[in-house]
Amino acid sequence: MFFLVYQFYFTLKAPVAILLVAVYGVDTVLTIIRRIKMKEKISEAHRHHLYQLFVDSKRFSHITTSLIYSVIQLLCCIIVYYSFQLGLWEQLLIITLVLLSITLSYVFLVRYFLKMRVKAS
């Protein structure tokens, strides 16, 4: 997938292509940062990804969680489709706004699910 994003970027000169992996990329990067802050080895198995917190909360099934992720990623793909021909600064603004929105949502939801986990125990 990353190869395709790379090809898309260099063929069309569209940095907005990074949004093709936005949801999973933000989840991966922020999970790694969170694990480093918790002084965990990032090479060991864990259950800290946001989609795992969704399922572990017992409020969302695997299918529901996958559907939520898919819809958000589909919205990102639609944004790419309609904006890859815009100018560089417009694309950079779109990238910033989308990644900031996903990042803030990630932080809020992780905190929410961790508070739920503490209340349950």
- Per-residue confidence in pLDDT tens, the chain, 121 aa: 667 777 777 787 888 988 988 998 899 999 999 899 989 888 887 877 888 888 888 778 889 889 999 999 999 999 999 998 999 999 999 999 999 999 999 999 988 888 887 776 6
Name the residue among 19, 16, 20 with its Cα closest to residue 87: 16
Name the residue among 72, 75, 55, 53 with its Cα closest to residue 63: 55
Distance (Å, whole) CA 53 – CA 47: 7
